[in-house]
């Protein structure tokens, strides 16, 4: 078999794809929850096209680049894989990748529930305003997030101060982010 690993990830699947059941087994074997951000980084390294699935081609190419041919070798590389999150250029690439990876393939935009989950995973620990933005999305009219909005959320999180003092109303932010700032100012005025 072309999967040279110490367990079978292909039970119940065809020989060219690791399906969600195999992914669960794989996560268990490497000691990582499927929702752990390291799995997103690994999917990015493997250039996986669909969430919950790895093709044999994606797997072999990615694991070859990582120089891993066993579970134990990959387990030892997890800290190295996590380091990609600390590099701004790599993080931006992972963040952009996450959009296409997580959205339904037959949709142009990402549904809001998936977007909230992915934003929590990617920005939840690092963006001071993430919790407020999450609340804004909960209360907003938005049902989907398009790619432009997605990419601008990252830029906004990196450049706009938590007190919004450097936010320019005439800036080129998507309407969604302008509405978020307006909403946040209203929320803060109620608290004052």
CB-CB contact of 94 with 85 (8 Å) = yes
Residue 10 included in any domain: no
**What is the pLDDT, as a whole number, of residue 19?**
84
Q: Both 37 and 92 in a single domain?
A: no
Number of domains in the chain: 2
Same domain? 45 vs 105: no
Domain assignment present for 106 = yes
| Domain identity same for 104 and 187 | yes
User: Residue 44 maps to which CATH number?
Assistant: 1.10.238.10
Among residues 86, 112, 145, which one ends one of the domains?
86
Residue 1 lies in a domain: no
User: pLDDT tens digits for 159-184?
Assistant: 999 999 999 988 899 999 999 999 99
pLDDT value of position 9: 57
Low-confidence stretches of the chain (pLDDT beneath 70):
1-15, 190-192
Structure confidence by residue, pLDDT tens digits, 98-119: 999 999 988 999 999 999 999 9
| pLDDT value, residue 8 | 56
**What confidence score (pLDDT) does residue 188 get?**
82
C-alpha angle with apex 181: 180 to 184, nearest 5 degrees?
85
């Amino acid at each position: 078999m072309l999967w040279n690993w110490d367990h079978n990830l292909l039970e119940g699947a065809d020989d060219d794809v690791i399906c969600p059941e195999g992914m669960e087994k794989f996560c268990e074997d490497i000691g990582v929850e499927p929702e752990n951000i390291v799995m997103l980084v690994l999917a990015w390294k493997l250039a996986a096209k669909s969430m919950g699935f790895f093709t044999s081609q994606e797997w072999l190419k990615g694991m070859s680049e990582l120089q891993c041919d066993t579970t134990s070798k990959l387990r030892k590389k997890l800290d190295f894989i996590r380091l990609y999150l600390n590099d701004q250029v790599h993080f931006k690439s992972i963040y952009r990748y996450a959009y296409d990876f997580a959205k339904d393939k037959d949709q142009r935009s990402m549904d809001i529930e998936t977007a909230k989950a992915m934003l929590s995973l990617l920005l939840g620990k690092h963006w001071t305003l993430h919790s407020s933005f999450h609340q804004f999305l909960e209360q907003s009219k938005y049902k989907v997030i398009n790619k432009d909005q997605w990419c601008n959320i990252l830029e906004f999180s990196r450049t706009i101060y938590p007190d919004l003092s450097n936010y320019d109303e005439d800036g080129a932010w998507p309407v969604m982010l302008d509405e978020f700032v307006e909403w946040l100012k209203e929320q803060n005025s109620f608290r004052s």
